[in-house]
Amino acid sequence: MRHRETLESLTQTRQWAHQTLLKHGSKVYQAFLDLEHAAFTDGALPKKTKELIAIGISVRIDCESCMQWHIEQAAQAGATWQDVLEAVEVGMEMGGGPATVSARFALAVMDTVFPDFSRIDV
């Protein structure tokens, strides 16, 4: 799959940036991590649902790193590929034609996260 290198690169860059910002004591980044923790903690909406919402938003705003992170987090929270696909579709509807292009990346992530998600190799 041609996206595998991109996904690995995004993961490495995200981990490097995370460690670098923490090492340098970034108060803004720490505040973001605290916000993220508060936003994705189970509440009236379970974490899985919140991650699915974030996937739709990520598709709409065309954030590849966000799509990768939230698809992985949704899977860890118990989402199936069917759940994730519906969230991707909501993002496509909200974003129109350009979001269908973003959705292609989300499908590539799903192909690596969900072993039972089948896609056609081209």
Provide the domain limits for residue 67: 4-113
Query: Residue 119: its pLDDT value, please?
Result: 65
Give a yes or no: residue 121 inside a domain.
no
Give a yes or no: residue 99 inside a domain.
yes
Give a yes or no: residue 54 inside a domain.
yes
Give a yes or no: residue 35 inside a domain.
yes
60 CB-near residues (< 8 Å, 6+ apart): 91, 94, 95, 99, 102
Per-residue pLDDT of 59-118, as tens digits, reads 999 999 999 999 999 999 999 999 999 999 999 999 999 999 999 999 999 999 998 887
Query: Residue 100: its pLDDT value, please?
Result: 94
| pLDDT greater at residue 6 or residue 106 | 106
* pLDDT bucket at 49, cuts 50 / 70 / 90: very high
Domain count for the chain: 1
**What is the CATH classification number for the domain harbouring 105?**
1.20.1290.10
Do 57 and 91 touch, CB atoms closer than 8 A?
A: yes
Give a yes or no: residue 122 inside a domain.
no
Give a yes or no: residue 42 inside a domain.
yes
Q: Three-state SS across 47-98?
A: HHHHHHHHHHHHHHHCCHHHHHHHHHHHHHCCCCHHHHHHHHHHHHHHHCHH
Give a yes or no: residue 34 inside a domain.
yes
Give a yes or no: residue 102 inside a domain.
yes
Do 95 and 102 touch, CB atoms closer than 8 A?
A: yes
